[in-house]
Amino acid sequence: MGTSKIVAGAGVYVIIGLYALGFSAADQAVYNVGRSEAFHDQARQIANVGMRFAMGDMGSSSTPALPSGTVSLIGGSVSYTGDRPAGLTTSQVRVTSQSTYNGYQVTIVAILQWSGVKWTVQRVYQQVDAAEYSRLS
């Protein structure tokens, strides 16, 4: 009878140990996904800042030089360029802003519109990066 209690007790400890190991792996996975999302969000915010730098470069002129620049800030960097592809009017400019933060990259494309007084954001698109999906698995 004493041996069976030891075996049963050992079995309970093994089961508890396996649960603890599983919880530890789950905690690590949740941490990794959270960190990945935080870095990606920071990269997206830096890309938005690049778009704002482009708007600042164009100033209050309805016919500005197309913006272009690279800026390092808050642990990341952003490069932005402006162009006017076919299909846009003379009062519109497309700005592409690509940022990097801790190895994460985000590219946004914004259509800016001259409102008669200043440049305003008409639309913003975020380009999908397939590498971000692989980081989550």
CATH of domain 2-132: 3.30.1300
Residue with the two structure tokens 């272009």: 68
Query: If we measure between CA atoms, which residue out of 86, 42, 50 comes closest to residue 68?
Result: 50
What is the radius of gyration, based on Cα positions, of the chain? Answer: 25
pLDDT confidence of residue 116:
87
Cβ neighbours for 114, distance < 8 A, ≥ 6 positions apart: 62, 91, 92
pTM (2 d.p.)? 0.76
Helix (H, G, I), strand (E, B) or coil at 47: helix
**Domain residue ranges of the chain, discontinuous segments joined by +:** 2-132
Question: What H or E segment, with its residue span, contains residue 122?
Answer: strand 119-127
Cα–Cα distance for residue pair 48/43, rounded to 1 Å: 9
pLDDT confidence of residue 62:
84
Residues in the chain: 137
Q: Which residue has the higher pLDDT, 29 or 100?
A: 100
Residue with the two structure tokens 């990341």: 76
In sequence order, the β-bridge partners of residue 96 are 81, 109
Q: Mind listing the pLDDT tens digit for each residue in 44-59? A: 999 999 999 999 999 8
